[in-house]
Amino acid sequence: MPKFPALLKAIPAVLIIALCTPANAKLISYVDGIMVMQENDETGHTISMDYTLDPHYAVGWYSKWEENEKGGKDFSVHGPEFNTLIHRWNLPDGQANIFNSSGAGIAEGDGKTRSAAWTSILADYETRRVFSSYEIRGMYADTISASVWQRARIGIAPYKAGYNDVATWFMVQVDDHPSKTDTLVVTPLVRFFYKTTLVEAGYSSNHHIMLNWDLQF
């Protein structure tokens, strides 16, 4: 965590802004919408910003500082990414999606800079009371790193939040990332959102705090 003091110092300020501003956990929001996501968890720190071009495509920027890599080989990746809504099922009482997110840029680590590329498939299904998602992501960064990672989430909402209410979700996230020191990690978390601001906080089985936020504007 202390490797990015400037970033960490900025988090409270951004959170304050986030909590005061009218902010999607999905890779595509609405046409002309901008989405900023920031994640801090046992895998490292991520920031991404995406602009939705049309109902199926968004473009943006992805930066991730990977931590807790096996052998201390932490690294970062940065580059533009392209998000695609492969399919959406709008159901009377639910919504299901399959997304792809792919990007290419540079990786920095071990004193080297190399080209990098990544791609992921994310599937989710949610109702007003139940949430589930699964993501598989591949990262190739030449001699710096090459890995495949999986993440699954399930969640329940204790009440059906209305459009103008604060929504609360209790979730469990399971990560399987063979390139990390701790391969299998479970993170119970709570998610709150109100209008365009989403905040998540949790604590992982390998004793790391999770603090994520999304803004949509």
Partner 1 sequence: MKKILILTTIIIAAFSQVANAATITASVNGLVCAFCATGIEKTFKKQTAVDQIKVDLENKRVTIDTKPGQDLDDTTITKLLINSGYSVTGITRGK
Joined together, the tokens standing for residue 126 give 């949610």
Closer CB to partner 1, residue 118 or residue 193? Answer: 193
Closer CB to partner 1, residue 114 or residue 195? Answer: 195
Whole-number Å distance between alpha carbons of 127 and 119 = 27
Contacts with partner 1 by CB under 8 A lie at 22-26, 28-33, 54-55, 88-95, 126-128, 160-165, 167, 193-196, 198, 214, 216-217
Closer CB to partner 1, residue 3 or residue 54? Answer: 54
Q: From the CB of 55, what's the least distance to partner 1, in Å?
A: 6
Q: From the CB of 215, what's the least distance to partner 1, in Å?
A: 10
Closer CB to partner 1, residue 42 or residue 214? Answer: 214
Distance (Å) of CA 5 to CA 1, 2, 45, 74, 190? 8, 5, 12, 16, 25
3-state DSSP call for residue 50?
strand
Token pair 């299998």: residue: 184
Q: From the CB of 106, what's the least distance to partner 1, in Å?
A: 32
Q: From the CB of 82, what's the least distance to partner 1, in Å?
A: 18
Distance (Å) of CA 126 to CA 136, 186, 202, 204? 18, 21, 20, 23
Q: From the CB of 99, what's the least distance to partner 1, in Å?
A: 12
Closer CB to partner 1, residue 25 or residue 116? Answer: 25
Q: From the CB of 20, what's the least distance to partner 1, in Å?
A: 15
Closer CB to partner 1, residue 40 or residue 52? Answer: 52
Whole-number Å distance between alpha carbons of 6 and 20 = 22
Long-range interactions of 194-201: CB distance < 8 A, separation 24+: 194/165, 194/166, 194/167, 195/22, 195/23, 195/164, 196/21, 196/22, 196/23, 197/18, 197/19, 197/21, 197/22, 197/23, 198/23, 198/24, 198/25, 199/15, 199/18, 199/19, 200/171
